[in-house]
Amino acid sequence: MRRADRLFQLVQLIRGRRLSTAAHLAGRLAVSERTIYRDVAELQHQGVPIEGEAGVGYRLGSGFELPPLMFTQEEAKALVASVRLAQQGLDPGLAREAEDALGKILSVLPAAARAAAESLAIYAPLIGVDTGNQQRLQQLREAVQARRKVQLYYRDPQDKTSRRTIRPLGCFFWGKVWTLAAWCEARRDFRSFRVDRIQAMEVLEGGFQHEAGKTLADFLRHVGAPVL
């Protein structure tokens, strides 16, 4: 890879994450960390607002724009495959937005790349999708974004139903089922709820503010997952 191409890719990688370590960037570009340090220094010298330092990580400062990207045929195929596969698990709102976003991307591609992407023989038919679960998933996702408390009636593995008031924190997909990570006010602890076991739910008027020890980052640390 030419150095100019590597520098361009380096900027793309840094702006694609909240914080990128030299080790991560070196692994993605198949170069040494020393090369990453030199390349970052060169970009900073050229005026690219990369913030951070060696040993900590890098991020791109606000206000920096790159020219529009053009995808290769293989990259366009990957996007089509990703959206088709993802739509089977997404809630209706996100599925529509994904389809619209893909259409915008394909519309600006060269004719050959667009034709190759659209003719990709990979499909994920929406068979056996529970529309009730999908609607609940959308409500929960929107409640997470709006920081709205949710009251739900939940059936546990022993078929016992309980009423919970929760602070929804994030939705997780495990290949076959969606779960909701939440702070349960009744248990005063983190809990995970399978969306398909929610019998009924109501998004409450009362919102909530993030509190130390009750956030998504705290939940991820609680279960031993990496905090990105």
Instruction: Evaluate whether residue 101 is within a structural domain.
Output: yes
Q: Which of 11, 30, 60 is the last residue of a domain?
A: 60
| Number of domains, the chain | 3
CATH number at residue 154: 2.30.30
Let me know whether 92 and 150 are in one domain: no
Counting Cα atoms < 13 Å in the Cβ hemisphere of 207 gives 7
pLDDT of 40 > 90? The answer is: yes
**Arithmetic mean of pLDDT, 202-210:** 91
Let me know whether 105 and 54 are in one domain: no
Instruction: Evaluate whether residue 18 is within a structural domain.
Output: yes
**Containing structural domain, residue 171:** 131-223
Residues with Cβ within 8 Å of 183's Cβ and at least 6 positions away in sequence, in order, are 166, 167, 169, 189, 190, 191, 214, 219
Q: Mind listing the pLDDT tens digit for each residue in 114-164?
A: 888 889 999 888 777 788 899 999 999 999 999 999 999 999 999 999 999
pLDDT of residue 66: 58
**Arithmetic mean of pLDDT, 86-114:** 86
Q: How many angstroms separate the CA atoms of 127 and 140, rounded?
A: 23
Residue 153 sits at φ, ψ, to 5 deg, of: -105, 120
pLDDT of residue 138: 95
Instruction: Evaluate whether residue 68 is within a structural domain.
Output: no
**Arithmetic mean of pLDDT, 44-72:** 78
Name the percent of the chain lying above pLDDT 70. Answer: 94
CATH number at residue 39: 1.10.10.10
Name the percent of the chain lying above pLDDT 90. Answer: 50
Q: Mind listing the pLDDT tens digit for each residue in 65-88?
A: 655 566 788 888 999 999 988 888
